[in-house]
Structure formats: C-alpha cells, structure tokens
C-alpha cells in the first residue's frame, strides 16, 4: 500500500465519521470508554478495506473477513457443530425473523443465520410497491440458492444447509464476518478502492438474481459487503418465483464471461437432482428456461454490439 500512515483515536465501537480527500486526517468512533490508537494507510477506501474497522454485526473476537469456511468444510461444520447459547434476533426489519446462531465444533466457534420461514402469500407487496400473487417465502430457497451457486462455481452465496434448531427446522447459513449491507455502505458513503471490479461483482449478482427469479431484487439489504469489498448475495427466500420469463429490471447490456461459461456448462440432470429437495418441478423447469433465455439474450447482444462491448 502506498501513502503515509496517519494516526487517529478510536473510541470503542460505533458509527464511523471520516474526513474525505486523498488522506484521512482524523476519524473518531464513539460508543464505549475504551480508547485505542491504530495506524492506517490513509485513503478512505484503504482504511475501510484494510484496517479491520468494526462494522455492523462484527464479532469483536474474530479477525476473519468474509466467510470463515467454504465448500464441503463449511457444509460439514454447519450440519454438525454444536449450538452455543441461545439464538438471538438481530434484524428488526426482516419479516422472516432471522436468528443469529453461534456454533462450535470444539476447535472453532463461528456464527450463522437461521431462518424457518415457509409461507405462501396469496398477494405480496414488496418494498418498492410491486404487488405479486402467490409469492412463496421459504427457507428452502436459501439452500437452493447456495446449491445452484456451488454448481456454477460463483462463490456469491454463503454456505447454507437445512438444520433443526430446537424444535424448528430451517436454513442455517454461514455468517459473513466484518460486513455491512449495501444500503448501509451507500448511506455511509463508503466507496470501493476498485470501482470497476466492484461494479463487475454487482452485475454478476444481478445476473444471479435474474437466474433465480429473485422478486426481492430491489431490497439492497440482501447484498452484503465485507471490508475487502467482496459482495455476497444473502436472503434468497423470496426467489424461484415460477415464471420462465426474465425480469426486465434485471437485464443488463453487460454480461460476465465466467457467468456465461458457468451457465453453458451447467448440467440439467445434476441441477434437478441437487435442487429436487428444495424446489418444485415447475420451479426447476422455469429455472432452466431462464438459464436458456439469459444465454440467448447474451448471444443477441454480442451479435449486435460485439464481445468487447458486452462481455467483461
């Protein structure tokens, strides 16, 4: 990292206020009486990305940024680790009442999100005013999103399994450590150090939302950003609406090369086998139809504007 280190006083955990410009001249966090000094490399983006500053929901005992486990290791941990203490509410806005759960396998202690919502709404109004008939809000969609993401090799969705917590069965998804929601990032005016790369991630998330027919796409609280500005798609319980058509609002003139390759190599038989437990037959059929439409639309854009203009 280039630049000159500066020193500022940090008072416990709280909301961050930073001077703008090429250097951070000072910053103050206030909520507790504990005072400590930390040295950072001074640009706003590098401070947020590299200094490990506290963010919403951060575990003060953990130095992990993003996902502490991935792949089969994460699935095994979520499936078998012991629940420590009582699950706690953490999101007063979410209608599904998610709970934060602490898990331990004896060697490590990690956090996860539990949700057991499984409701079919005759009519549902989203935050942006759209009204949809027969919208299903289900924890099973969370697991289906992770399974599909795994098949595509994208790494956008945190590991998620079905598990019983107490007497309730639902989805248990790994917590993204040292992260904040996209609406909080915008509210706080935190700009990524690499805007081009960040925009590419966001476009890929939108493509994934298009693929899974995520009708809650306008809720940017379902996008989580860690302090390295890695983007994750969380809370897909309102996805997989039974409709083979693409959502016009999620169409883009630019398409990720790796996303297209992943769609092209997606095996229909494997997809059906892995998602059969979580999605109805009509949902799986419409998912495959949207996959085909995304590929067809990309081919049309490339034919009209050329690969260099469309693909990234």
Per-residue pLDDT of the chain in tens (312 residues, 90 and over written 9): 343 333 333 323 333 333 333 333 333 332 332 233 222 322 333 333 333 334 555 565 568 999 999 999 999 999 999 999 999 987 766 666 799 999 999 999 999 999 999 999 999 888 888 899 999 999 999 999 999 999 999 999 999 999 999 999 999 999 999 999 999 999 999 999 999 999 999 999 999 999 999 999 999 999 999 999 999 999 999 999 999 999 999 999 999 999 999 999 999 999 999 999 999 999 999 999 999 999 999 999 999 999 999 999
With respect to residue 91, please indicate whether it lies within any of the assigned structural domains: yes
Q: What distances in angstroms separate CA 264 from CA 187, 201, 291, one per listed residue?
A: 37, 19, 9
Q: Are residues 111 and 229 in the same domain?
A: no
Q: Are residues 271 and 252 in the same domain?
A: yes
Q: Are residues 39 and 138 in the same domain?
A: no
Q: Are residues 184 and 284 in the same domain?
A: yes
d(CA 73, CA 105): 12
Domain stops at, among 143, 174, 205? 174
Q: Are residues 22 and 76 in the same domain?
A: no
Q: Are residues 208 and 264 in the same domain?
A: yes
d(CA 44, CA 22): 8
Exposed/middle/buried for residue 223 (C-beta within 10 Å: 0-12, 13-18, 19+):
buried
Q: What stretch of H or E contains 296?
A: helix 281-305
The torsion defined by the Cα of 55, 56, 62 and 63, in degrees rounded to 10, comes to -20
Q: What distances in angstroms separate CA 209 from CA 219, 296, 309, one per listed residue?
A: 12, 17, 22
For residues 279 and 118, the answer to whether their CB atoms sit within 8 Å is no
Structure tokens at 151: 């098949």
With respect to residue 186, please indicate whether it lies within any of the assigned structural domains: yes
Q: Are residues 304 and 186 in the same domain?
A: yes
Buried b (16+ CB within 10 A) or exposed e, 83-112: beeebeeebeebebebbbbbbeeeeebbbb
With respect to residue 252, please indicate whether it lies within any of the assigned structural domains: yes
In sequence order, what are the residues at sequence separation of 6 or more whose Cβ sits closer than 8 angstroms to the Cβ of residue 188?
Answer: 15, 16, 180
Domain stops at, among 174, 205, 234? 174
With respect to residue 60, please indicate whether it lies within any of the assigned structural domains: no
Q: Are residues 304 and 231 in the same domain?
A: yes
For residues 213 and 284, the answer to whether their CB atoms sit within 8 Å is no
The domain of 217 spans 180-310
Q: Are residues 283 and 194 in the same domain?
A: yes
Structure tokens at 50: 């590299």
Domain count, the chain: 3
d(CA 56, CA 47): 16
With CA atoms as reference, report the closest residue to 135 among 72, 217, 46, 60. 217
Domain stops at, among 119, 151, 174? 174
Q: Are residues 185 and 288 in the same domain?
A: yes
For residues 181 and 224, the answer to whether their CB atoms sit within 8 Å is yes
pLDDT at residue 59, rounded to an integer: 62
pLDDT at residue 58, rounded to an integer: 59
With respect to residue 167, please indicate whether it lies within any of the assigned structural domains: yes
Going along the chain, which residue ranges are E strands? 5-11, 17-18, 27-28, 35-41, 82-89, 99-104, 109-115, 118-125, 131-138, 160-165, 168-174, 179-181, 223-226, 231-233
Q: Are residues 169 and 190 in the same domain?
A: no
With respect to residue 212, please indicate whether it lies within any of the assigned structural domains: yes
With respect to residue 184, please indicate whether it lies within any of the assigned structural domains: yes
For residues 137 and 96, the answer to whether their CB atoms sit within 8 Å is yes
Q: pTM of the entire structure?
A: 0.80
Q: Name 114's bridge partners.
A: 99, 172
Q: Are residues 112 and 146 in the same domain?
A: yes
């Amino acid at each position: 990292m280039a630049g000159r280190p500066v020193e500022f006083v940090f008072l416990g955990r709280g909301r961050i206020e930073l001077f703008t410009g090429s250097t951070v001249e000072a910053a103050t966090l206030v909520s507790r009486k504990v005072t400590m000094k930390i040295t950072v490399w001074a640009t706003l983006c590098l401070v947020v990305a590299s200094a490990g500053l506290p963010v919403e929901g951060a575990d003060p005992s953990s130095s992990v940024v993003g996902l502490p486990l991935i792949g089969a290791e994460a699935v095994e941990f979520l499936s078998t680790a012991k629940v420590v203490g009582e699950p706690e509410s953490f999101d007063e806005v979410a209608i599904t009442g998610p709970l934060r759960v602490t898990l331990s396998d004896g060697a490590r202690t990690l956090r996860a999100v539990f949700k057991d919502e499984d409701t079919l709404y005759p009519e549902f109004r989203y935050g942006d005013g759209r009204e949809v008939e027969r919208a299903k809000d289900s924890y099973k969609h969370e697991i289906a999103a992770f399974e599909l993401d795994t098949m595509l090799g994208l790494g956008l969705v945190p590991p998620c399994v079905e598990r019983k917590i107490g007497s309730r069965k639902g989805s248990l998804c790994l917590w993204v450590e040292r992260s904040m929601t996209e609406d909080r990032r915008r509210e706080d005016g935190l700009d990524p150090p690499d805007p081009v790369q960040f925009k590419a991630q966001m476009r890929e998330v939108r493509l994934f939302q298009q693929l899974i027919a995520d009708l809650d796409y306008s809720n940017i609280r379902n996008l989580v950003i860690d302090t390295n500005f890695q983007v994750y798609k969380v809370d897909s319980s309102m996805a997989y609406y039974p409709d083979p058509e693409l959502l016009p609002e999620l169409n883009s003139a630019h398409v990720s090369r790796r996303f297209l390759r992943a769609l092209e190599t997606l095996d229909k038989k494997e997809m059906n086998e892995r998602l059969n437990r979580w999605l109805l037959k009509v949902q799986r059929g419409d998912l495959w139809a949207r996959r085909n439409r995304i590929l067809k639309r990309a081919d049309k854009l490339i034919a009209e504007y050329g690969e260099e203009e469309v693909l990234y």
